[in-house]
Structure 1
Amino acid sequence: MLSSRETLLLVIDVQGRLAQSVVQPAALETNISKLVRACLILDVPVLVTEQYPKGLGSTVDTLKELLPGMVPVEKLSFSCCGTPEFMKQLRSFNRNDILVVGMEAHVCVYQTAVDLVEFGYNVHLVTDAVSSRTEANRLLGIRCIEKAGASLTSTEMAVFELLRVAEGERFKAISKIIKE
């Protein structure tokens, strides 16, 4: 089970023009935005990466606006774990459960998830918050990530698992986010 004290949200490479060329780009941005907003309410840290931003552009504006002051970890390796600065930041949060979202499911998300599993992290792939340029590659990435040992979840499932109880101001705020 996910807990807000043990979880980190990892947003992988939701950048520039590539973000508009994936399957269901609006749904991808909407679901990742919901997760980011819920994590901010629940004090779950968010770590963002960018693959070669000089060529692919920066993180999409909708996510940058939710995370003012956020400095994405720039990378050239497909796996986030291949970048020492990423590993340094990830370890500094001291969280064992990693909610993984972003793109592309069959490349950077896949390679990162496999590496995180090998490093002993509990990887939770948010299947409605990952995408690729083709549906076949998106589905293949999800299947291979699950086969590597990750758990599958959805935006709503993960948020309510982190929340745990249907009461209080945090529940009201998160319910509003989910209903949007």
Structure 2
Amino acid sequence: MLIRRADSLLLVVDIQQKLAPAIHDSERVVANSLRLLEGARQLGIPAFVSEQYVKGLGPSLDAIRTAAVDAKFFEKTHFSCAAEPGVVDLLRAAKRPQIILTGTEIHVCVLQTAFGLQAAGFEVYLVADAASSRTPENRSAAIERMRAAGIGIVTTEMVLFEWLHQAGTDDFRKLLPLIK
């Protein structure tokens, strides 16, 4: 199943100041999440950013906050965004059945969010090159578990190209710097 621009939204999970430095391959996770946030902004795709227990983990990285200028932010204490009161309703209000998911930690908050959103009826896609954990083992195990449960495993470029659908358009030219 292809990701469709008109049917999808982006959810960036917990890429926060005190957690990000401990994440395996953090630079790639942040860079790809930024590419997706910028692509979503340019294409008019709704974006959401969660922040886990800001008092303890700090807010989102400054780069995420800057790129997510049009995004809706919400704080949570549940590991799963879907378990946090009001979040599923917030996402449903966008009237988009596909959720593109990035963030940290993939084996805790991202995984529990993916399963919760899938159970709520969303079609969930994990952007594997924009999600990680403190250890590569936890990252790999989470991806395997989500794949086995029917979560779509995609990459940043898959998402961008599926959002674009074709070359030679103004949108394609606008997003080309994110792909090169």
Per the normalisation by structure 2, the TM-score is 0.96
Q: Which amino acid aligns with 1:119?
A: A
Query: Does residue 1 of structure 2 align to residue 4 of structure 1?
Result: no
Q: 1:69/1:121 Cα in 2 relative to 1: closer, same or farther (>3 Å)? A: closer
Q: 1:69/1:173 Cα in 2 relative to 1: closer, same or farther (>3 Å)? A: closer
State the partner residue of 2:145.
144
Deviates more, 1:127-136 or 1:87-96: 87-96
What is the root-mean-square deviation in Å for CA atoms of aligned residues?
1.1
Q: Secondary structure at the match of 1:167?
A: coil
State the partner residue of 1:104.
105
Q: Distance in 2 between matches of 1:117 and 1:89?
A: 15
* 1:12–1:49 Cα contact (<8 Å) kept: yes
Q: Secondary structure at the match of 1:106?
A: helix
Give the superposition deviation at 1:177.
Answer: 1.3
Q: Percent identity?
A: 37
TM alignment of 1:1-180, pairs within 5 A: 1-68=2-69, 70-179=71-180
Q: 1:44/1:75 Cα in 2 relative to 1: closer, same or farther (>3 Å)? A: same
Q: Distance in 1 between matches of 2:159 and 2:68?
A: 20
Q: Distance in 1 between matches of 2:59 and 2:150?
A: 30
Q: Distance in 2 between matches of 1:119 and 1:43?
A: 24
- How many equivalent pairs are there? 179
Question: Any stretches of 5+ residues in structure 2 without a counterpart?
Answer: none
Q: Secondary structure at the match of 2:126?
A: strand
Give the superposition deviation at 1:85.
Answer: 2.5
Q: Distance in 1 between matches of 2:118 and 2:72?
A: 25
Q: Deviations over 1:68-114 (max 9, x none)?
A: 36452111110101111312211110110000000101000000101
Give the superposition deviation at 1:53.
Answer: 0.5
